């Protein structure tokens, strides 16, 4: 990903566009056929160092590329960049960068999805304590958690796939979008040049491709990074010493702290969460880049030299880290069981209330169970003993029935079935290549 956004690779994208333009113009008789061949050969000889030398002198990046190509040609140099404006080259080459970046992102997101689907399948009946408001709630399964995350990553994959036709587009429209320099052949030249590059075409443009497309791209990256922020905030929570149910893999020689030898810190998860903040920070400038003056100004250009490479590279990095961490998760089964039973059955109050409601009505059942639960909190008693102190409960439910009701594995509803459905669905289709 870093290579795609390097200066050397960027130059190669720019040269590809210049060559495609010349080929299209030659095929349509707009420039001599030999000129296109010479331009193509000359482009292979252009070096980044030479382009930089020229740019330092003339202070124009695309004219520096054009001059670097032209000086490699003994004849027909005037046909380099013929009829085009700088944005035709820069915006179209940017589309090539985004196209190649999306290939990598989609591939890595599919790997991440596969890891999550496998985790969901492997842990579909792994019962654990769910939490709402940071408090232990009724049981869930780790498989259901992973399934929720998997479907979210699947939605990101679909969003990227759906957005590709809007993002991977170029333009050959000239100075202010009228194609005046190409005469009546503008639409044909644009269509053929972009066909040679494997890109879609803008329907219409000013001097630049409108930046709502690029803002959409960055917002999708921010959305992906935020989902990972959420997932790994949960992983970090579950690795807290007080919970200690799940943890990142920890190498035999890995050091957690320079002064506290016992530490096993979730540093990769923390890195993901921290970098997600940076990716999100690029959304605002990306949106503001769409508010250009008239047919164009340059305010987007300087911003995009930072936002697009950084947002893309950082998102690629956190996705890679996510695959690594999730693929090496460690589960502490003993602590998972301890946390399920931490409240002495109080977290199973809904299960009892639902069964009692069938006998005496929901409102009365809710109040009786609530009262017994509050008493158990105060006394440190188990929920079952607190309930059996209530005459109405004792009249309708035996200790054996209550003990069965408060077993966590007996109260996970359709969690396993839901996971199986999700696993089956996502293994069939995940925005396939």
Catalytic residues: 133, 257
Give, in order, the Cα–Cα distances in Å from 226 to each of 78, 279, 342. Answer: 49, 9, 31
Placement of tokens 């999805």 in the chain: 113
Query: Hey, how many other C-beta atoms are within 10 angstroms of the C-beta on 306?
Result: 11
Q: In angstroms, rounded to a whole number, what is the distance separating the alpha carbons of residues 225 and 314?
A: 9
Measured CA to CA, the distance from residue 395 to residue 299 in angstroms comes to: 76
Q: What phi, psi does 138 have (nearest 5°)?
A: -65, 165
Per the CB < 8 A criterion, the answer to whether 185 and 278 are in contact is no
List the one residue out of 381, 382, 387, 348 whose CA is nearest residue 367.
387
First to last CA, the chain: 19
Q: Does an H or E element contain 201, and which?
A: strand 200-201
SS (H, E, C) 139-189: EEEHHHHHHHHHHHHHHHHHHHHHHHHHHCEECCCCCCCCCHHHHHHHHHH
Q: How many residues does the chain have?
A: 433
């Amino acid at each position: 990903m870093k290579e795609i956004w390097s200066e050397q690779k960027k130059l190669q994208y720019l040269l590809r566009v210049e060559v495609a333009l010349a080929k299209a113009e030659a095929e349509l008789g707009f420039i001599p056929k030999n000129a296109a061949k010479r331009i193509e050969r000359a482009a292979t000889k252009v070096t980044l160092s030479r382009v930089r030398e020229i740019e330092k002198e003339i202070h124009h990046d695309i004219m520096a590329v054009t001059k670097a190509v032209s000086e490699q040609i003994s004849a027909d140099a005037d046909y380099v960049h013929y009829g085009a404006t700088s944005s035709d080259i820069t915006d179209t080459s940017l589309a090539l960068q985004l196209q190649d970046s999306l290939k990598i992102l989609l591939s890595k997101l599919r790997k991440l999805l596969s890891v999550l689907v496998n985790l969901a399948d492997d842990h579909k009946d792994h019962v654990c304590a769910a939490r709402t408001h940071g408090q232990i709630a009724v049981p869930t399964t780790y498989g259901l958690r992973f399934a929720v995350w998997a479907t979210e990553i699947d939605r990101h994959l679909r969003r990227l796939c759906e957005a590709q036709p809007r993002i991977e587009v170029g333009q050959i429209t000239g100075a202010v979008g009228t194609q005046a320099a190409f005469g009546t052949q503008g639409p044909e030249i644009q269509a053929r040049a972009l066909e040679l590059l494997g890109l879609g075409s803008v329907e219409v443009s000013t001097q630049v491709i409108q930046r709502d497309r690029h803002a959409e791209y960055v917002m999708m990256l921010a959305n992906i990074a935020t989902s990972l922020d959420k997932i790994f905030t949960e992983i970090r929570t579950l690795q807290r010493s007080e919970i200690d149910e799940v943890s990142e893999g920890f190498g035999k020689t890995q050091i957690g702290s320079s002064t506290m030898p016992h530490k096993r810190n979730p540093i990769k998860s923390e890195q993901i969460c921290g970098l997600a903040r940076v990716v999100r920070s690029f959304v605002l400038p990306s949106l503001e880049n769409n508010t250009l003056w008239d047919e164009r100004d340059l305010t987007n250009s300087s911003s995009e030299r930072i936002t697009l490479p950084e947002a893309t590279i950082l998102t690629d990095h956190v996705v890679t880290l996510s695959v690594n961490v999730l693929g090496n998760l460690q589960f502490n089964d003993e602590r998972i069981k301890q946390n399920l039973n931490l409240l002495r059955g109080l977290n199973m109050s809904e299960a009892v209330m639902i069964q009692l409601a069938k006998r005496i009505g929901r409102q009365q059942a809710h109040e009786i169970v609530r009262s017994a639960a509050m008493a158990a909190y105060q006394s440190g008693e188990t929920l079952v003993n607190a309930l059996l102190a209530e005459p109405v409960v004792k009249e309708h439910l035996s200790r054996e029935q209550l003990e069965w009701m408060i077993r966590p594995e007996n109260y996970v509803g359709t969690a396993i079935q839901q996971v199986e459905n999700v696993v089956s669905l996502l293994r069939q289709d995940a925005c396939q290549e």
